[in-house]
Amino acid sequence: MMQTNKNHPIGLKGFNTADFSAMVQAQVKNALDEDVGSGDLTAMLVPAIQTATAKVIVREHAVICGIDWFNACFKQIDTHVQIDWLVTEGEHVQPNQTLCQITGLARSLLTAERCALNFLQTLSATATESGKYVDAIAGTSAQILDTRKTIPNLRLAQKYAVTIGGGHNQRLALYDGILIKENHIAAAGSINKVMQQAFALNCGKSIQIEVENLEQLQEALDAGATSILLDNFNIALLCEAVKINNNVTKKAILEASGGITLHNVREVAQTGVDRISIGAITKDIKAIDLSMQITPNS
């Protein structure tokens, strides 16, 4: 069974409960504006006073994530809709398990259905995929991290889902830290020059530099780097990088990235790197198969 992180996500840096709630409400409003627009024409075929009961069933193994978004979709359409959850955020569920029961006006249920399921199946997919990687490296000292390779306008939601799956957040966005890549180094002139410019900013944020070989790794260490991204290093090079890092007075945090899959992630973790960043957990996901079944009340 997947080991999931059931902490409420205010693990998102700089976010408190109110911030998180406001983010959810804003994302749901945008989704409903996109989907409903001036009104749900098809739902108008159902009598306005007709009530109904619905249940949501999951068709595959998953880690459930996105309950707040799901609830908000219905509540923004109709505050009188009642939702009773039979599972909790971060729970590992089985195929054909009922997740929740919903009661209210049939029109409201029909209008909110698609947006609610979209959020739930997408965020559950991210949490589920994250959990697979976390399980794969269990017992090692490495951590699984996300990247900025997220679905547009769902950045924070997906990063939250990563934590529900047991992973950790890399910087939230460009404003949240410095990541010096190949083109930054080329534009600045050298690793040493770009590192000194980064230190001079004194921005109070994390500074990480990406290197592509062992020579660049040594340059970064000599320049005072405390966090280094090892881009597309094979296993042998990762092992050597860890040895080099262990022999310096002030070790840097080493993060492996690039070409890492469920098939090799454990081997990567066993090299001794501190962190492993995986773009696939947010960009290469397959929506969890969910079904909402509505029954009219007599």
Q: Catalytic site residues? A: 114, 149, 181, 210, 231
Hey, what are 269's tokens?
A: 């973790």
> What beta strand segments (E) does the chain contain?
51-58, 62-63, 82-85, 92-93, 97-105, 143-145, 178-180, 207-211, 227-231, 253-257, 275-277, 290-296
Hey, what are 218's tokens?
A: 């040594």
* Structure-derived torsion over alpha carbons of residues 130, 134, 147, 61, reported in degrees to the nearest 10: -10
- Is the Cβ–Cβ distance between 194 and 207 less than 8 Å? no
- Is the Cβ–Cβ distance between 230 and 257 less than 8 Å? yes
| Rg of the chain (C-alpha set) | 23
> Which single residue is written with the structure tokens 């830290």?
177
Neighbour-count burial of 13, counting CB atoms closer than 10 A to its CB (0-12 exposed, 13-18 middle, 19+ buried): exposed
SS3 168: strand
